Amino acid sequence: MVSPRSLKKLVPSCFRPTWEGQDEGTSSGVGGHTSLWWQRESGHHHYGDYSMAAIKANIIVEDNCQLESGPMSLDASGPSGTFVGIYDGHGGAQASRFISDHLFDHMKRIATEEGGMSDDVIKRAFMATEEEFLSKVEQEWEATPTMASVGSCCLVGVVCGGMIYVASSGDSRAVLGRSFKPEIHMESIALSKDHNVNDETVRDELQMQHPNVENIVVQRGGVWRVKGIIQISRSLGDAYLKNPEFNRPPLLAKYRVPEPFDEPFILAEPTLEVHGIQPRDEFIIFASDGLWDHLTNQEAVDIVNSKSRRGIAEKLVKAALKALAKARNMKYKELRKIQIENRRNFHDDITVVVLFLDSKLISRSSTTASSSSSSSSRSLRVPTVSVRTYEISTDRAGPSSGTDVAAHDD
């Protein structure tokens, strides 16, 4: 009989999500305000492997992420797949946490009503989450008016039935890595659109939507912002920019738009892309803009392609930090030593999920989708995994064990 201590040693160390201490080597507890790193080095989802990592820049992390693998509806005979959510909050963590707690459940409910997965199902889940959060803002208006100034970018990817569905409101990004011949070269394919007004096409789109609004976009300090306030043109939350009822006292004047308005300045509705999975599609990188501020799509894809899968999300985060240090004429070791109270002056919260696609598993899933009661279909189902960076345990299948992020450089 194996002793409990021996059994614990047999459990792979990659399965416990933890926040790591300031020096990248000392654990300071999960979710502590002086913690810096979180990661899950590797795991298995419905269609292959995955890796996840995050580094904080804010004392209270505003990014949240989520991975769910298994049933994509409430119907036992419904579709199975993998769901990834990247929620990049701003003005506070309330919106990104709310999305993490509600959007996936809305999607499963709507997929059940619609009898399957579709881009419309995901869009409706976005809008249901937005409506529910704005109702919360209204309920708490007198007690906590600052809730009206809290919002979040929202990037969702669903791999289901041989398709990749990507929906985005904000400037988080999903990038596909597709192999060429020879297979040592990888093509990067953007699966989402950035809704950031520093992009001229986004500014033009916003100005066309608001032809009668003066200064809908304003440049300050070399950075374009909607009404001089926010860089993104789509988000969940940010009620004060969508409903004039929240653009008044008791909300502090520094958050308010000075002139009255009738139509929302920014939208919650996501843009959607649907992509049929091809045999050469190897992996998808989902990340908040903190990563893409420092790495191009191709650089990120080349890193994933050239290194081992285990801990690859952490390696991407470190590559971004090294690029940042180089751009600032700093040594990476100097950047590592910066205290959490000052890190936001150097970089944003960075959250990364890398989802590998096993073509054999995808093919098997597609051929058995019509008979979910078969043994082969059941064998593809894996426990649901939910990752929330502000909670200790996020695996709904039960607690997991492991070690902290290693303090090595790759």
Structural domains of the chain sorted by starting position, each given as residue range(s) with its CATH number in brackets: 33-193+270-380 (3.60.40.10), 197-231 (no CATH)
Give the DSSP letter string of 129-144: HHHHHHHHHHHTTTT-
The residue with greater pLDDT, 363 or 294, is 294
Q: Which helix (H) or strand (E) holds 218?
A: strand 217-220
| R_g of the chain computed on alpha carbons | 21
Give pLDDT, residue 151: 97
- Does 88 score more than 50 pLDDT? yes
Query: In this predicted structure, what is the pLDDT of residue 185?
Result: 81
pLDDT over 60 at 23, yes or no: no
User: What's the pLDDT score for residue 183?
Assistant: 61
Nearest partner of 160 among 102, 84, 269, judged by Cα: 84
pLDDT at res. 365:
64
Encode pLDDT of 155-188 as tens digits: 999 999 999 999 999 999 999 999 987 666 889 9
Q: Is the CB of residue 269 less than 8 Å from the CB of residue 293?
A: no
> Which H or E element spans position 291?
helix 289-292
The structure's pTM equals 0.85
Query: Tens digit of pLDDT for each residue in 229-262?
Result: 999 999 999 999 999 999 999 999 988 998 889 9
CB 266 within 8 A of CB 232: yes
Q: Give the pLDDT of residue 401.
A: 26
Whether pLDDT at 18 is above 60? no
Beta-carbon-side half-sphere exposure of residue 21 (alpha carbons within 13 Å):
8
Dihedrals phi, psi of 75, to nearest 5 degrees: -85, 125
What mean pLDDT is reported for the chain? 83
Nearest to 166 by CA among 68, 285, 293: 285
Cβ distance 122 to 158 under 8 Å?
Answer: yes
Q: Among 124-138, 293-307, 376-390, which is the least confidently predicted range?
A: 376-390
Query: Mean pLDDT across the stretch 78-96?
Result: 94
Kindly state the average pLDDT of the residues 128-157.
97
Contact present, 169 and 153 (Cβ < 8 Å): yes
Cβ atoms of residues 259 and 59 within 8 Å: no
Report DSSP state, residue 232. B
Distance between CA atoms of residues 152 and 170, nearest Å = 8
Structure tokens at 2: 């194996």
Cis peptide before 250 (omega within 30 of 0): yes
Q: What is the amino acid identity at position 67? A: L
> Per DSSP, what are the bridge partners of residue 17?
none
Tokens at 35, concatenated? 């913690």
Quickly state the pLDDT bin for 385 (edges 50, 70, 90).
low
CB atoms within 10 A of CB 376: 11
Tokens matching residue 21: 């201490």
pLDDT at residue 125, rounded to an integer = 98
How far is it, in rounded angstroms, from Cα 291 to Cα 304? 14
CA dihedral 312, 316, 321, 322 (to 10 degrees): 90
On the question of pLDDT at 306 being above 70, the answer is: yes
Task: Place 271 in a pLDDT band, splitting at 50, 70 and 90.
Answer: very high
Residue 367: per-residue pLDDT: 57
pLDDT band at 218 (very low <50, low <70, confident <90, very high): very high
